[in-house]
Amino acid sequence: MNHNADFNQRAVVHSASLNWVASPMAGVDRRILDRMGDEVARATSVVRYAPGSHFSPHVHTGGEEFLVLEGVFQDEHGDFPAGSYIRNPPTSRHAPGSEPGCIILVKLWQFDLADRTHVHIDTHKMQPINVAERPDVRLIPLFHDDREDVRIELWAPGAAIEICNHKGLEIFVLEGAFAEGSEEFNVGSWLRLPARQAFMGTAGADGTKVWIKSDHLEFPPLAPLA
């Protein structure tokens, strides 16, 4: 199944307006943002765990990255409340679930297959830092290597935001809203831009908090081998 699989094109999903689609595991539903492949796929999704739902233990051959948006995500490594950012690298294994229920933004099969770096960050315990060359922006760094940069940005109310010279850009709205051209992006909205297509937006009147991944689409992404 391919969805928003042409990475040379701008892609938009307002996920809050989508119906939930059942996964193969009872109690776990998805809203698909982009996808290449079948059940084993390079995928970006919003995933909802109903209270008491669990996935069977499994290995993430291609790695898994997620941000907890609501509730508490759980596995044998701990309880991860809203605001937790996790990277489970290729070959990692866990049995995920949630007794209280949760919603996560998750990306699968998007790692360097040699990566073995685990990341567990509680973003609510991190103080946003000022960006000298971007006075209307504060950020929380999440991950950086020579393939990608992942961060949370907080945009001042009404700020004009420009992001240029990137090698691919994804933005997911966590709080507030922003406008890009004539389109409004609210909580749960996702925008993906191909490499070197500049982002020019305006933060909402109450400010905006977004999750951003950049510089990761310089080369065409490939679907994983089943």
Contact between 2 and 38 under an 8 Å Cβ cutoff? The reply is: no
Question: What is the pLDDT at residue 35?
Answer: 95
Give the span between the Cα atoms of 29 and 128, in whole angstroms.
32
Q: What is the mean pLDDT of the chain?
A: 94
- Whole-structure pTM value: 0.96
Q: What is the mean pLDDT of residues 200-209?
A: 98
Write the class of the CATH domain 2-122: mainly beta
Is the pLDDT higher at 6 or at 224? 6
Sequence spans of domains, the chain:
2-122, 127-214
Confidence of residue 96 (pLDDT cuts 50, 70, 90): very high
Bridge partners, 148 (sequence order): none
Bridge partners, 155 (sequence order): 137, 208
Question: What is the pLDDT at residue 226?
Answer: 58
**Per-residue pLDDT tens over the stretch 38-80:** 878 899 999 999 999 988 888 888 899 999 999 999 988 889 9
Confidence of residue 224 (pLDDT cuts 50, 70, 90): confident
Please report, rounded to a whole number, the percentage of residues in the chain having pLDDT higher than 70: 99
The 10 Å Cβ neighbour count of residue 226 is: 8
Backbone angles phi, psi at 123, to 5 degrees: -65, -20
- At the topology level of CATH, where does 127-214 sit? Jelly Rolls (2.60.120)
**DSSP, res 18:** S
Contact between 104 and 59 under an 8 Å Cβ cutoff? The reply is: no
Same fold for the pair 2-122 and 127-214? yes
Contacts of 156 (CB under 8 A, 6+ apart): 136, 137, 203, 207
Give the span between the Cα atoms of 38 and 40, in whole angstroms.
5
Contact between 215 and 148 under an 8 Å Cβ cutoff? The reply is: yes
Confidence of residue 196 (pLDDT cuts 50, 70, 90): very high
Q: What is the mean pLDDT of residues 196-225?
A: 93
Burial class (CB in 10 A: 0-12, 13-18, 19+), 20: middle
**Per-residue pLDDT tens over the stretch 101-128:** 999 999 999 998 899 999 999 999 999 9
Confidence of residue 17 (pLDDT cuts 50, 70, 90): very high
Secondary structure (H, E, C), 128-158: CEEECCEEEEEEEEEEECCCCEEEEEEECCC
